[in-house]
Structure 1
Amino acid sequence: MVLTDRVRTTRRRLLGGGLGVATLAGCGVFRDEPKPPPAPDPLQPVLDEALALAGAYDRVIAAQPALSARLTPLAADHRSHAAELAKLIDTKASAPPPEAVDSVAGLRAAELAAQKTAVAACRAAPADRAGLVGSIAACRATHAEALR
């Protein structure tokens, strides 16, 4: 019986002391600190580049209408990529600031740079995202070749 009383006393002391320590330490339950904003999705740069590329194609087409038949399908690919990426990362697609691309050579350079971004994103992406990002990287490489 003495052993039981001792265990109860020890439990009570332990619980009482534990609550006192939690109260003194402040568990943060009643703090009004805002939660930190969520980290941007790792695919956001791929989405941003898709929109930038589509806008760059539009500017080159506007400046050189004779290239419209050649460049319009490529711009459409980037818009399609942007739409799929926006759905995947659950964000609204918004156009980034326009780049100073005004020629086919500039488009090719932009495609090559964007392709590198997509390859890096594909390597880091989980399996459920890698297929989409890999196909975007391949499409960008194909566009670069088509612009030679």
Structure 2
Amino acid sequence: MKRRQLLGTAAGVSALAGCGLFDDDPEPPPAPDALQPLLDEAVALAAAYDRAAVAEPRLAARLTPLADDHRAHAAELAKVIGAALPSTAPSAPPGPAYSLKSLRKAEQVAQKTAAAACRKAPAARAALTGSIAAARAAHAEVLR
């Protein structure tokens, strides 16, 4: 083997070693998607409405459409970010029942999260996050 061939082979091996091909360190996990908090809130809000409707059946007709909105938002967000939706039971999940006042407060907090996400979102996601922010604001008004 000529000297140039030997040096070329050595350089190639060191380049491969430098690129991580032989590293044993695992890749760091990817950062969570910026829309994940909106997805988590949508799932939590739907569950809160379900619990409130079970606790106060007379409010079910008023609360069920709002819960359905949050489930639709969660499904669309999950599709956009490639996340799996948590499986939901047919009845309300366990947890405390929420009053209209606490549901309204939760909607107001969630609306602020969605509005902030909309401001930071790329154009392809701005319409979705904006419509979620608007729906959450409307829900808070419905709960007055």
Instruction: Using the aligned pairs only, state the percent identity.
Output: 62
Q: Against the structure 1 CA distance between its residues 88 and 36, is the aligned structure 2 distance closer, same or farther, given a 3 Å change threshold? A: same
Partners of 2:95 and 2:120 in 1: how far apart? 26
- Which residue is 2:74 aligned to? 82
Aligned residue number for residue 33 of structure 2: 41
Q: What residue is the counterpart of 1:57 in the other structure?
A: 49
Aligned to 1:7: none
Cα offset for 1:100? Answer: 4.5
Report the AA paired with residue 124 of structure 2: D
List gaps (5 residues or longer) in structure 2.
88-92
The structure-2 alpha-carbon separation of the partners of 1:42 and 1:117, relative to structure 1 and needing over 3 Å to count, comes to same
Q: How many residues align?
A: 136
Change (3 A) 1:144 1:98: farther
Secondary structure of the structure 1 residue equivalent to 2:34: coil
Q: 1:135 aligns with which of 108, 131, 140?
A: 131
SS of residue matched to 1:106: helix
Is 1:123 the counterpart of 2:124? The answer is no
Instruction: Output the TM-score relative to the length of structure 1.
Output: 0.81
Q: Using structure 2 for the length normalisation, give the TM-score.
A: 0.83
Q: Secondary structure at the match of 2:41?
A: helix
8 Å contact from structure 1 (residues 52, 98) kept in 2: no
